[in-house]
């Protein structure tokens, strides 16, 4: 009877250990699933932003400049635009782009003499800019292209325009 009791105790410990490992594995898998879902959502946004930048990249490649539908912030303000407000109110059909991006948070590669510029991507110019996603194209004078989908927290390389 003592052996049976010891065997039962051992079995109970093994079952508890296996159950504990199963719980840890289940939690890890749930964490991985959440991580994978978040990664998928991020990659999907990167793809959408990159696709939205196609016309800008093509214009840079052909002319070295953004499309005519882009005005820099000074031009927009000359037309009466106020930062954070909807651009369409004062510059119908236009987007903001072409201003120098300082790269003060060093999210982009630096090189002596390199100048970075920024352009809105996928912004609805009839809505207040302060209520929109921070999706931008960042492009350098030596041909590098990056996008940011989180208003300059991170940047993803999408190739070169030169």
Q: What is the 3-state secondary structure (H, E, C) of 10-37?
A: HHHHHHHHHHHHHHHHHHHHHHHHHHHH
C-alpha to C-alpha distances, 127 to 86, 95, 102, 130, nearest whole angstrom: 5, 12, 26, 9
Active site residue 35: no
Does residue 118 have an active-site annotation? Answer: yes
Q: Name the residue among 144, 126, 149 with its Cα closest to residue 51.
A: 149
Q: Give the residue among 70, 71, 158 at the shortest CA–CA distance from 108.
A: 158
Catalytic: which of 12, 35, 51, 151? Answer: 151
Neighbours of 26 (CB within 10 A): 10
Q: Which helix (H) or strand (E) holds 160?
A: strand 156-160
Instruction: Reduce the secondary structure of 105-154 to three states and give it as a string.
Output: CCCCCCCCCCCEEEEECCCCCCCCHHHCCCCEEEEECCCEEEEECCCCCC
Catalytic residues: 118, 151
């Amino acid at each position: 009877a003592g052996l049976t009791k010891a065997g039962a105790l051992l079995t109970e410990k093994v079952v508890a250990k296996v159950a504990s490992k199963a719980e840890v594995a289940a939690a890890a898998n749930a964490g991985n699933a959440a991580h994978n879902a978040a990664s998928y959502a991020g990659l999907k946004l990167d793809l959408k932003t990159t696709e939205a930048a196609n016309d800008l990249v093509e214009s840079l490649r052909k002319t070295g400049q953004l499309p005519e539908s882009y005005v820099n912030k000074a031009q927009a303000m000359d037309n009466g635009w106020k930062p954070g407000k909807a651009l369409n109110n004062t510059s119908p059909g236009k987007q903001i782009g072409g201003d120098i991006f300082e790269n003060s948070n060093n999210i982009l590669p630096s090189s002596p003499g390199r100048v970075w510029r920024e352009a809105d991507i996928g912004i609805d110019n009839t809505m207040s800019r302060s209520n929109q996603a921070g999706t931008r194209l960042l492009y350098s004078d030596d041909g590098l292209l990056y996008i940011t989908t989180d208003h300059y927290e991170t940047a993803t390389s999408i190739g070169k325009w030169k």
